[in-house]
Amino acid sequence: MDIYNIFPFQAEKKKRAIALGFFDGVHLGHQQLLKQLLTISKQKAISPAIFTFQNHPKTLLQNSDKFEGLIQSLEMRLEKLQTFNVEEAFVVQMDEKFRHISAEDFYFHILCETLQIEALIVGQDTHFGYLGKGDIEKLKKWTNETNVELYVMPDMKIDGIKVSSTYIRQLLKEGNIHLTNRCLGSNYQINGKVIHGKKLGRTLGFPTINLTYDENLISPKYGVYMTRVILNNKKYPAITSIGTNPTVEEINRNVKVETYIYDQSFDLYDEIVNIEFIDFIRPEYKFPTVEEMTKRVLIDLDLVKERHENNHY
């Protein structure tokens, strides 16, 4: 997949079909757009492409502090998009200059003149351009004027609820990994660089790997999870704690991710690893003593091992 991330784009002049969206999580609703994108591209013999943003537009709004974070990093988002055989990704840094581009200029100058669209695929709630003034009704009018085929995809629903990035963020905050994974169409993942920690787990008999956590990502509900660590395309059963370690650190607001790959021994310092979330085990607790915490971790570990062995995922 060719990635264009310098605007204005210096892209090859050719006809394209474009799916428009932020694609955070590349969930089932997004996948519906991508499948339509590929179908139309094949029918018209044109290039399938997506138009998206490096950072979420909400981060520029006055109440940006209320935005809880992304489901995926840009890198993971693009990797997942590539699995759908998208040929090109046009990725814009949303800044004040781009934010003030009008809906008309975005459609006629960027999509039509620069990217030469012949087909446009969007969701029902699509808004674009300054103050979100571009909407489906305007797209219907403008695509008709420019002889561009417009496809407005219906909402994807699970149990009667619309699958959306906002809904998935809510599920993650609730620790509802099962429904999160259903909405994503795959298991929720994070990745990070393995760093040195306090090595407390090592002294207690379960050496963990400590991962950096991207502050731009949403924090799932703090607690203990049944997970798998992905290394060199192989998956290893694991147990993961995500939170602030209140038992051993009195004042700490930083999110910490600690994973124990049991029955395995790896030297992973400075490597980037992916963690796949399977199930939520329990919330984060502040234990009265390290000894009490250790007892509970051993109980959690037995439960996770049993579920992994019985393939309860």
Output the pTM of the full model: 0.90
Residue 174: the pLDDT is 96
Least confident of 43-52, 102-111, 143-152, 297-306: 297-306
Average pLDDT over residues 261-275: 84
Name the band, by pLDDT with cuts 50, 70 and 90, for residue 268: confident
**φ, ψ for residue 236 (rounded to 5)?**
-120, 130
Distances from the Cα of 58 to the Cα of 98, 123, 125, 198, 212, angstroms: 13, 18, 15, 36, 24
Residue 66: the pLDDT is 65
Residue 30: the pLDDT is 96
Rounded distance between C-alpha atoms, residue 121 and residue 36, angstroms: 7
Rounded distance between C-alpha atoms, residue 174 and residue 169, angstroms: 9
Residue 230: the pLDDT is 92
Name the band, by pLDDT with cuts 50, 70 and 90, for residue 10: confident
Rounded distance between C-alpha atoms, residue 115 and residue 11, angstroms: 7
Share of the chain above pLDDT 90, in %: 65
Name the band, by pLDDT with cuts 50, 70 and 90, for residue 90: very high
Nearest alpha-carbon partner for 85 in 30, 35, 33, 19: 35
Specify the length of the chain in residues: 313
User: Which CATH superfamily, name and number, covers 188-309?
Assistant: Riboflavin kinase-like (2.40.30.30)
31, 163 in Cβ contact below 8 A? no
Rounded distance between C-alpha atoms, residue 175 and residue 197, angstroms: 25
195, β-bridge pairs = 210
Q: How many CB atoms lie within 10 A of CB 154?
A: 10
Residue 15: the pLDDT is 96
Q: Provide the H-helix boundaries in the chain.
A: 28-44, 74-82, 96-99, 103-105, 136-146, 165-174, 177-184, 200-204, 290-309
Class of domain 2-162: alpha beta
Name the band, by pLDDT with cuts 50, 70 and 90, for residue 8: confident
Angle between helix 165-174 and 177-184 (nearest 10):
160
Nearest alpha-carbon partner for 32 in 21, 43, 42: 21
| Span(s) in the chain for CATH 2.40.30.30 | 188-309
* pLDDT tens, residue by residue, 206-261: 788 889 888 889 999 999 999 999 988 889 999 999 998 777 666 566 888 999 99
* pLDDT tens, residue by residue, 19-72: 999 999 999 999 999 999 999 999 999 999 999 998 887 776 655 566 789 999
Nearest alpha-carbon partner for 183 in 201, 212, 200, 159: 159
| Span(s) in the chain for CATH 3.40.50.620 | 2-162
Residue 252: the pLDDT is 62
Rounded distance between C-alpha atoms, residue 308 and residue 313, angstroms: 8
Q: CB burial class (10 A; 0-12, 13-18, 19+) of residue 231?
A: middle
